[in-house]
Amino acid sequence: MKKRVLGKSGLEVSALGFGCMGLSFGFGPATEKSEAIKVIRAAYDGGVTFFDTAEAYGPFANEEVVGEALAPVRDKVIIATKFGFENGVPSQGTNSKPERIRAVADAALKRLKTEVIDLFYQHRVDPKVPIEEVAGTVKDLIQEGKVKHFGMSEAGVANIRRAHAVQPVTALQSEYSLWWREPEKEILPTLEELGIGFVPFSPLGKGFLTGAISDKTEFDKTDFRNTVPRFAADARKANQALVDALGKIADRKKMTKAQIALAWLLAQKPWIVPIPGTTKLHRLQENLGGASVELAPEDLAAIQDVLSAVQIQGDRYAAQHQSLVNR
């Protein structure tokens, strides 16, 4: 797989990363540990060198799985994890106090079976702690050799600039896909100006852009998509128009919808590295195929025509989660 560099940081990673969250958290029951390890190692065998986890995924279980899975190839991969929630539990609110950041780093190092965290993200901006304090604490951890790079997630432009002035931000992780293009307005121009890489999560629209979900799909009762307005049955029915139109382009290219969606993201900027996740080996192989799809200008124009014609229905988060983003 081709490599990409996240902004001006010099951090080189595979063009597609692997989002490990869904193996332990968010989309129904956790994948059995040995199976999760098998999927992560298959991603590595397929060329992925960039793996994303967080203390909040589980909580804690995901970091342990990632640490065990990647231990044999630790020197060949980049591992990103995150701090920022009270006790690692999002529902308990944010906590990015310096002492909490330090505690999370030390615990993550043990769970990940590593001596250094390659990329340490603030999971969500904490309005109770000045971002300069957060960036300064991570800067100290970098100087101590516990962390290599600082990242932010779902942060707004003002906080990105303030943090970057204290400790250069290597990457911003936020949602970006064919059905969530808000970052194009202010975030992407700011990242380009500052030399910060962009790591889109949910690049396949939490599964919707693959075509495997319809208005009739029923999610497990523990699946957080049950709380997402964009996944209400009437919204899914309306949004199917986007998937159907993408399908025609995919058929013409002899590709899948997922591969087109990933290739579109890769075509936007050379410093964008999507991190699709999956629990299924056949979906993993399909996603990896998206890294080698070259979209011609006429393909991108056809996709733009589709995007202009379809009005996506439904908010991407319920109200209580929406308040945590773009701070």
Q: How many CB atoms lie within 10 A of CB 283?
A: 19
Dist. CA 27–CA 219, nearest whole Å? 8
Dist. CA 130–CA 201, nearest whole Å? 25
> E strand or H helix at 301, and its extent?
helix 297-309
Residue 130, preceding peptide bond in cis (omega within 30° of 0): no
Active site (annotated) includes residue 57: yes
Contact indicator for 91, 130 with CB cutoff of 8 Å: no
Dist. CA 207–CA 261, nearest whole Å? 11
Alpha-helix residue ranges (DSSP H) falling in 184-280:
187-194, 233-253, 257-268
Catalytic residue among 44, 57, 121, 176: 57
Going across the sheet that includes 197-201, the strands are 18-19, 50-52, 78-83, 117-122, 147-153, 169-175, 197-201
Catalytic residues: 57
